[in-house]
Structure 1
Amino acid sequence: MNSRRRALPALLLAGAALLLAGCTPTVSLDPAADSNAPGCAEISVRLPDTVADEPARETDAQATGAWGDPAVVILRCGVPPIGPTTKPCVNVNGVDWVLMTDPAAKTIVYQTFGRTPATEVIIDHVSGVSDSSVLPEFASAISTVKQTQKCLSTLDTDPGSTPTPAPTATTAP
């Protein structure tokens, strides 16, 4: 009986080691400056289980998310919001995103516009994951933070551009 008592902890320890060996390691990230904002909590609880067919991973920082092994998509909520910019802006499912990096870069960074706290998404283009398969996945989570400004194209804000006058109806004499 005594040998059984000694064997049980060893067996449990060996089983736990096997279980842990199959687990994906936690992704180590730095939290954003305002990651404790209530809006980040709202976003965090609504993050999808998969992004671009990549499973969610455990992270070690507040208001972050990671998908893929290795991580090919990373989200950080609470980054400093940006003001007016001439960087490219796209609206995806009601969320304005500003492309913060060169579109030809191996790692692309998008940041929300007009929402505080702001959120950034980092996409590893080397992995073959496309922006169009990533950004729509975050729309419902990001939309929980109210948008206070719309991102406009440079044509909308260019003081040198002149709007084309709308045709007016004329009546025959």
Structure 2
Amino acid sequence: MFAVAAVAAPLAACAPSISLTAAPYATDPLCASIVLAVPDKLGNLDRITASAQATAAWGTTAQAVTLRCGVEPPGPTTDQCQAIADVTGASVDWIVVEESRTGDWVFTTYGRTPAVEVRVPAGTSGAAVVDLNRAVSAAPQTRHCY
């Protein structure tokens, strides 16, 4: 048994890891449920290790789609808000904003507490966000976009 642990430890150190900052409400117990339910693959991107509580990431450390649970829940907004449904019909309302400085896309759940933020780097397809619907649905929906 010791030999297995001795081999596993060095291999774990080689896994890609990205440094993220925990969101203000990352300690919400539902965040643990959400992060445990996220898929190992997001579109064609493999999951990588994220450093902070209630976070997840996919891709490479240089170009990662990141998720942070426990961000400030957004109030009413004039930003684009759309319901995105997956193949099962499960729908999540997302506020979608393109950052002018970086060109990255930021998706934030609307009407759910805790709120979840997903950052998609410029040049990466945001279509994979639909793969997070099931996990994000652990937070009950209290409001809708429209």
TM interval, shorter chain, is 0.7 to 0.9
Task: List aligned pairs for 1:64-103, cutoff 5 A.
Answer: 64-70=55-61, 71-93=63-85, 94-102=91-99
The TM-score normalised by the length of structure 1 is: 0.71
Match of 1:52 among 43, 47, 50: 43
Aligned structure 1 segments of 4 or more residues deviating by more than 6 angstroms? 15-18
Residue 99 (structure 1) shift = 1.1
Could you tell me which residue of structure 1 aligns to residue 113 of structure 2? 116
Distance 1:85 1:20, change over 3 A: closer
Higher strand share: 2
Higher helix share: 1
Unaligned stretches of 5+ residues in structure 2 = 1-5, 86-90
Match of 2:133 among 111, 115, 139: 139
Distance 1:18 1:63 in 2: 25
Residue 26 (structure 1) shift = 1.6
Q: Residue 16 of structure 2 contacts residue 60 of structure 2 at CA under 8 Å; is this kept in 1? A: no
Distance 2:66 2:45 in 1: 11
CA RMSD of aligned residues (A): 2.3
The TM-score normalised by the length of structure 2 is: 0.83
Amino acid at match of 2:68: R
Q: Residue 66 of structure 2 contacts residue 119 of structure 2 at CA under 8 Å; is this kept in 1? A: yes
Could you tell me which residue of structure 1 aligns to residue 144 of structure 2? 150
Q: Residue 20 of structure 2 contacts residue 52 of structure 2 at CA under 8 Å; is this kept in 1? A: yes
Q: Residue 37 of structure 2 contacts residue 135 of structure 2 at CA under 8 Å; is this kept in 1? A: yes
* 2:32 aligned with 1:37: no
Unaligned stretches of 5+ residues in structure 1 = 1-12, 153-173
Calculate percent identity across the aligned residue pairs: 39
Distance 1:143 1:40, change over 3 A: same
Q: How many residues align?
A: 136
Relative contact order higher in (CA < 8 Å, ≥ 6 apart): 2
